[in-house]
Structure 1
Amino acid sequence: MIYDLTWPLHDQMAVYPGDPACQIGRIHTHEKDGVQLTHIALGCHTGTHLDVPRHFVASGQAIESIPLDRFIGPASVIAVPWQPDQPLDLEKADWSGYQHGDFVLLSTDWEHRGDTSAFFQDIPSFAAGTSELLIKKGVRLFGLDLPTVREVVRPGFDKRHMHRTILGNGMIIVESLANLSKLVGKRVWFSAAPLLIPGSDGSPVRAYAQELH
């Protein structure tokens, strides 16, 4: 069975504060023109999307310089349910099914906020040291149901530390995944290939997974 892990794109959908609105409209219609042609305008980090190193690292790789096999591979789905005012601690997750070099997909139950403005409010932070934990474990791609990643702010570190650290180590981040709660504890084959946008720091994706047996 294939699981669709992607939020639908639609006109004026909720987006991360400061990002451009998603605009989808018809340039031509069957009724008027005998053909349908759709126009879309959106930021590269709209909906289910990925971040590549260029997003936070000026010298980092952009989309076109990353091989496609970096976006497709085996993934372990783990869970750390979010709790109000509590950092997400990946040390407490069940890593027993993880194999070194796997992708990691994290379910926090944030997906249940759905496609609303609440999805971008009071986003949980990760415990200090999460970036280093992911790097130490050899994670090649980190996907999750949150719209962004950040660790709790502490002296000497700002809210961009997590992005800079894991992207700076060549890891790919896939944000705003849907339906991950259905796959917790499973090992899957995951795909989130980006559009080929030269120079870009990210891209919307059609993310999906299939259980591995």
Structure 2
Amino acid sequence: MEKRIIDISQELFSCAVFPGDEPPVKKTALSIKNGDVCNLTELSMCAHNGTHVDAPYHFLDDGITIDRVPLDRFVGKCYVFRHDGDVTADDAKTMLEKCENTCERLLIGGKCTVTAEAAKVFAEKGLKLIGNESQTVGPEDAPREVHLILLGAGVVLLEGIRLENVTEGEYFLSAAPINLGGCDGAPCRAYLIEI
């Protein structure tokens, strides 16, 4: 029996954008219809548009850039949870207990915000990755503290995923970023495979 592959990425040109960031722009550079040899598209975008990952360098000037983050952070078993509202330290502990055997990567679906207290619990556990549906893992109006806690502990962030049609449970995640040398983050095509 084939295992189902679930795309959890946003389409880039209709994606959600963090307040203040420029949206992605697509430009047709060449067109077969106009007599050109091929179709060619040019892109202009922020590295954090749509579904993307944050490297430590995003908030830490001495942190590693996205091209230096080991790929095993983005690829492997993960656990998907559903949660609405603030993720508290107690919520974080409950999540970690529930997925004890698979808790290297954790994805949280729903309208939620990871609090600094929860971030500390996740950081102490030594997770490789935390993902969420918002364009930022922490509070939108003050994301710095949560990012510093998680990225400072080497936990990479997968932001802007879409989990509305994904049930809680264990999956195999692939969310490898584009290899952008020296950058603070990068877009990715994130998907889950049923285990």
- TM-score scaled by length of structure 2: 0.87
Query: Which one of the candidate residues 12, 16, 30 is aligned to 2:18?
Result: 16
Structure 2 counterpart of 1:134: 122
1:141/1:97 CA distance change after superposition, 3 Å: same
User: Per the alignment, in what secondary structure is the counterpart of residue 173 of structure 1?
Assistant: strand
RMSD: 2.2
In structure 1, what is the equivalent of residue 185 of structure 2?
202
**Structure 2: which 5+ residue stretches go unaligned?**
none
Matched residues, percent identical?
29
Residue number in structure 1 paired with 2:87: 88
Mapped to 2, the partners of 1:100 and 1:132 lie a distance apart of: 19
Do 2:102 and 2:170's aligned partners in 1 also have CA atoms closer than 8 Å?
A: no
Distance 1:90 1:147, change over 3 A: farther
- Once the two structures are superposed, residues 12-69 of structure 1 have per-residue CA deviations (whole angstroms, 9 ceiling, x without a partner) of x542122123110211111111410011110000000000100001111101212222
Kept after mapping to 1: 8 A contact 2:78/2:103: no
1:165 equivalent in structure 2: 149
Q: Find the partner of 1:184 among 141, 144, 167.
A: 167
**Which aligned pairs between 1:5-44 and structure 2 lie closer than 5 A?**
5-10=8-13, 14-32=16-34, 33-44=36-47
Q: Which whole-Å CA distance do the structure 1 matches of 2:30 and 2:71 have between them? A: 34
Unaligned runs of 5+ in 1: 111-123
Question: Matches of residues 89-104 of structure 1 in structure 2 within 5 Å?
Answer: 89=88, 91-92=90-91, 94=95, 95-99=97-101, 101-104=103-106
1:176 and 1:169 map into 2 onto residues whose CA distance is 21
Whole-Å separation in 1 of the counterparts to 2:133 and 2:16: 15
Are the aligned partners of 2:25 and 2:44 in contact in 1 as well (CA < 8 Å)?
A: yes
Amino acid at match of 2:182: G
Whichever residue aligns with residue 132 of structure 2, its letter is L
CA distance, structure 2, for counterparts of residue 81 and residue 107 of structure 1: 8
After TM superposition, the score normalised by the length of structure 1 is 0.80
Report the CA distance between 1:98 and its aligned residue: 3.7
SS of 1:129's equivalent in the other structure is helix
Q: Secondary structure at the match of 2:13?
A: coil
Query: Does the aligned pair in 1 maintain the 2:131–2:137 contact within 8 Å?
Result: no
**How many Å separate the matches in 2 of 1:185 and 1:138?**
21
Q: 1:159 to 1:2 in 2, by over 3 A?
A: closer
Cα drift, residue 107 of structure 1: 0.7
1:181 match: secondary structure? coil
Distance 2:158 2:129 in 1: 8
SS of the aligned residue for 1:143 comes to: strand
Deviation at 1:99, TM superposition (A): 2.3
Shift of 1:164: 0.6
